[in-house]
Amino acid sequence: MVIEQQKLNDVLLLRPNVFNDERGYFFESFKKKIFEENGLELNFIQDNQVLSKDAGTLRGLHYQLNNPQGKLVHVVAGSIRDVIVDIRVGSPNFGESVMIHLDDKKHEMVYVPEGFAHGYLVLEKNTIVHYKCTNYYDQASEFGVFWKDKDLNIDWNIKEPILSKKDSNLPMLKNQKNLPILL
């Protein structure tokens, strides 16, 4: 597996060795030893899987404050435009983002560190996203940033995505009162 540091500190793109033959494919989607060899002592304690029926579905930008979650994101079926935003107060990269295309062809994964907002735009019908989390989901600790925040300058390449009511009403980053602080 090749691990590639992205432009935001600690955001990683993981490229597994995929073995294809006439039957299909095989790859190791997670191996703790590889993370440890790269200085990442992570303890994944919850797995989540999401089915999005329609292309154009946008989920995010979400984060947990008191119980932050690091996430290892993998697309099982379909494809997404994955977006990670550094929202840590005091970070030299505050408000900056990285966008990564993930699909079920290359099987690349992205590690989203704790303290970052995360979201994605679904590009194909019936896309399935699976992610491992370093903390349990805590609804009382969940917050978010509006996907179309002009200060973030994210080009999602969509005008009217399919949004949940919750995601439609998230605040702009400058109006968010609950942000993680970089120590």
Our answer to whether residue 131 is catalytic in this structure is yes
**8 Å CB contact between 74 and 107:** yes
Our answer to whether residue 101 is catalytic in this structure is no
E strands in 18-136 = 19-21, 24-26, 46-52, 58-64, 71-77, 79-86, 97-103, 109-112, 116-122, 127-133
Distance from the Cα of residue 29 to its chain's centroid = 16
**8 Å CB contact between 118 and 84:** yes
Token pair of 86 as six digits:
């550094």
Indicate which residue of 120, 131, 136, 137 is catalytic. Answer: 131
Backbone angles phi, psi at 8, to 5 degrees: -95, 130
Indicate which residue of 25, 62, 63, 101 is catalytic. Answer: 62
Backbone angles phi, psi at 109, to 5 degrees: -130, 160
Residues assigned a catalytic role? 62, 131
